[in-house]
Structure 1
């Protein structure tokens, strides 16, 4: 008789991540014409880097806010008064927030906008604490 066993690990580790980013992959308008900004994040030279795709924006239309361990990017594209026969360009407000990793220094942040990409770099300057073992007292 065959015995079935259940594997604890997911066979395709990228699939749960794909579902977590599903809304960003197929961003659709929501209430108030709010759109999701597509981002990518990674560590580079002891800095946490977030890149946001914001083509056709001017830096004056982009606002980067950091606080309480969150990084938020807000942008707004105003519609022109030109008569159009067709438009596939998204207008209105866009926003995206991401949680900063542990150890991120909210006072060491730079932002650069070039070629439609916003790059935000956050220093990882806070002391990283190692796990601390606590001695257990035993009283008789």
Structure 2
């Protein structure tokens, strides 16, 4: 077991504080919201502190939208008793079903203020003019 007597109480409790404040999730996750804007699926993913050109991959396959992001974050803490530097790495991914009939070439993505927004329009289909009413038999 580690000898914690070399550390101040605040240094020992620091990882617990970071966990409770959401800085150390149990499993990496990407927070998303999704909604329909007319017939367009809009997915917004919270991915602050990343370079969208290098750290994010948005793809479509088999009717699914796939978002992958990777983050490297450095935080430094200086105190009277020492110096601590932490590197945090994380890979996050989410897969979301696309609307029926959505085409890969129509999907667009933008990144602004730490939010990735992906829009996937679904074709609007006219009601089938050849629909036939089915008579219900009574038994």
TM-score range, shorter chain: 0.5 to 0.7
Partner-residue secondary structure (3-state), 1:50: strand
Q: In angstroms, what is the RMSD of aligned CA positions?
A: 3.2
Does structure 1 residue 61 correspond to structure 2 residue 37? Answer: no
Q: Which residue of the other structure, out of 37, 49, 53, is the alignment partner of 2:30?
A: 37
Residues paired across the two proteins, number: 104
Distance 2:26 2:99 in 1: 28
Higher strand share: 2
Gaps of 5+ in 2: 1-24, 78-82
1:63/1:75 contact within 8 Å kept: yes
C-alpha displacement of 1:101: 2.1
Could you state the TM-score of these two structures normalised by the residue count of structure 2? 0.60
Query: For 1:127, what is the secondary structure of its paired residue?
Result: coil
Larger Rg, first or second structure (1 or 2): 2
Question: Would the aligned equivalents of 2:47 and 2:116 in 1 still touch at CA under 8 Å?
Answer: yes
Three-state SS of the structure 2 residue aligned to 1:104 is coil
Alignment match of 1:49 (pick from 39, 42, 47):
42
